[in-house]
Amino acid sequence: MKRGNFPMKCGNSLLLCAALMGGMAPFALLGCGGCANQNNAASAERTLSGVETRPPAANLSAEAEDTYAYLVLMQLMGGGGEAPREEDIRQAVALLKRSRVPASAWLDGAVWLLGRHSDLVVPFLEDALTAHPDDLSLTMLYAETLADRKMTQKAIGIMQDYIARHPAKSDAQVELALLLVKDGRFDKADAMLNALPEKARTPLVDYSHARALAGMGRKDEAIAKLRRAIKEMPEFVEALAELAFLHEQRGEWKEARTVYERLARLNFSPEEVTLRLVNISLQLNQPDMALKYMRNGPDTLAFKLTVARLFMDSRHYLQAESLLRQVADDPAAPPEVFLLLADLAYQQRRDVSQALSWLNRVPAEGSAAPRGALLRVQIIAESGKNEDALRLVQEGRRHYADMPEFYSLEARILVRLERKQEALAIIREGLKTWPADEDLSFLLGSLLDDMGDRDAALAAMENLLANHPRNAQALNYVGYSLAERGQDLPRAIDLLRKADSLSPNQSYIIDSLAWALYKAGQLPEALEQIRRAVRTGEVIDPAIWEHYGDIAAAMNLREEARTAYQKALDYKPANADALRQRLSTL
């Protein structure tokens, strides 16, 4: 779950919050100099937002024209629930531009347009700033409005120009720093906020500074800023949400739970907070507590389904299945529920009959149908009925011709049936339609390797990396292949380091890296990595023990080499005679 799911209650600024809370303060009427000339007003009537009004007389005083412009704006804003007409707004703006109404009147109009989500707010604010170029509130609202419309760079420029004209305005400095945080320029925001005088350090400033510090990885400092902001403003829910999120990131589950419970009492984003509390309880291996929190959430299918997924992700399968069964009893249950129940029935209990029974409840048409068909084929294939599975997957491939997954699954079943040439043909047929498909491309390389065509397999894996450079399996294959051939060893090591970072703690990847380092003559690190490889995982492949023996022997660590070779021999590998020969030389 993402921090971004916690919205600011009044957007990103206290300026807008204050404007909304303060309401639209009436600006004092500037006199009635035109009243004596009322009888000379033009008789033609026009309609503005459904209200009959008369245009002002040509000889109204300046004060009366100002008053009239303001009243037209107020009339427009008081028009009820109807959406404003562009023509009405243009007329009001034309009057405002000719008048001398104060900036507060423009601000009222802008806030009103923002409340209606009107696209006219940007040109309205531009006209307002033409009339009042040095008004800070209008400038800040304009910058925030631009930022909310994904024009953050322009917003930053607006504030920078204002600060150049008014360097002493600390509120403008704060606004610029907030925009820099929003734009991800945390270092610049940090520098600006550090330079602020202490009197300018409001809870909002501390909150924004904390976000900048968190973005720079300085989470201890961020937490301190958030705690200070919350101490000054105990119900600052955005700061509380940020603090809870940082505790989650650091795995400080109990601290995060305490803060989220506080947010729950403040009724802040109740569904999201409840889900966080459920997840934290599961991280603490407290499924009963998670269920207790769940009961405080909404009684909706979507919420229950999300909670069930959290239980599945944390491997609390019994509770997940119980929740999903409750959802399945609802006539409005989405088909995804039956897919999840089928998967649980088979994966956790190998109950093929129950799994297929759940799949029978997936509608034959609709978005869930193809996934249901794929899962049915997988269950039947894994239960040993490969011919039945092949028939079904071929039907699925014809029915769902736009899904490469059916090609991949058919190829795998054909390999199980030792019909590798047919599998190869299916893969290549799929790649004609989806030449960059990751799964089909990897299957091609793997199958070619299995069939003994190592050069073609390497070329296929290189092609896969060209389209998917973060595929750890392909990185490992290419890196190890190059190491085995003694070709381009620096690249082989780089590829394997990348594979190790993308898929950490995989013994076979670590072994490949150790072997490439050994081939490159980097023996101390090769030994370090191969030792790490055998510490990873419960069952270690005999080839890894063999590599361990070779690396240890090369470093004259005879006892360590003997132990490694003997470990490999315990698996009775095909090259047992060669290993015994190496043992005899130690």
Q: For 117-134, give one letter per residue: b (16+ CB within 10 A) or e.
A: ebebbeebbebbbebbee
Which two tokens mark 381? 């294939």
| Domain contains 568 | yes
Quick check: 480 and 508 in contact, CB under 8 A? no
φ and ψ at 504, to 5 degrees? -70, 155
Residue 106, in any domain of the structure: no
**Which has the closest alpha carbon to 369: 400, 332, 402?**
400
Q: Does residue 549 sit within a domain?
A: yes
264, 282, 312 - which closes a domain:
264
Res 375: pLDDT: 96
CA distance 271 to 191: 37
The pLDDT of residue 58 is: 55
Domain assignment present for residue 16? The answer is no
Radius of gyration of the chain (CA): 34
Closest CA to 342 of 365, 373, 316, 311: 373
Tell me the residue range of the domain where 209 lies.
Answer: 201-264
Mean pLDDT of residues grouped by 10 in the chain (586 residues)?
41 40 36 35 38 52 79 76 71 83 89 86 92 94 93 95 92 90 92 88 92 94 96 96 96 96 95 96 96 92 94 94 93 94 93 95 93 96 94 95 96 97 97 97 97 97 97 98 96 97 95 97 97 87 94 95 93 91 89
> What 8-state DSSP symbol labels residue 487?
-
Tokens encoding 69:
């412009």
Best CA proximity match to 373, nearest among 398, 350, 345: 398
Predicted local confidence at residue 518, as pLDDT? 97
Q: Tell me what pLDDT residue 44 has.
A: 32
Residue 525 CA to residue 452 CA, distance in Å, equals 32
How many Cα atoms within 13 Å fall on the side-chain side of residue 514? 27
Dig out the tokens for 121 from the structure. 């707010």
**Alpha helices, DSSP H, located in 149-300:** 152-165, 170-182, 186-194, 203-215, 219-232, 237-249, 253-265, 270-283, 287-294
**Do 507 and 537 meet the contact criterion of CB atoms below 8 Å apart?**
yes
pLDDT of residue 537: 72
Phi (first) and psi of residue 409, to 5 degrees: -70, -40
Question: Tell me, what CATH number does 561's domain have?
Answer: 1.25.40.10
What pLDDT is stored for residue 245 in this prediction?
Answer: 96
pLDDT the model gives residue 94: 83
Q: How far is CA 171 from CA 109, 128, 196, 200, 315, in A?
A: 22, 20, 10, 8, 50
Tell me the angle at which helices 576-584 and 542-554 cross, rounded to the nearest 10 degrees: 20
pLDDT of 174: 87
**In the numeric block, which tokens belong to residue 167?**
């360097």
Q: Of 221, 248, 264, which residue sits at a domain end?
A: 264
What is the number of other CB atoms lying within 10 angstroms of the CB of residue 434? 15
Q: State pTM to two decimals.
A: 0.66
Please report the sign of the dihedral spanned by the C-alpha atoms of residue 63, residue 64, residue 67, residue 69.
Answer: negative
Domain-terminating residue out of 212, 232, 264: 264
Q: Is the Cβ–Cβ distance between 144 and 156 less than 8 Å?
A: no
- Quickly count: other Cβ atoms within 10 Å of residue 330's Cβ: 11
The answer to whether position 572 is within a domain reads: yes
- Positive or negative torsion for Cα 168, 171, 174, 178: negative
- Total domains in the fold of the chain: 2
**Residue 238 included in any domain:** yes
Give the residue among 372, 460, 380 at the shortest CA–CA distance from 416. 380
Residue 1 domain flag: no
- The answer to whether residue 252 sits within a structural domain is yes
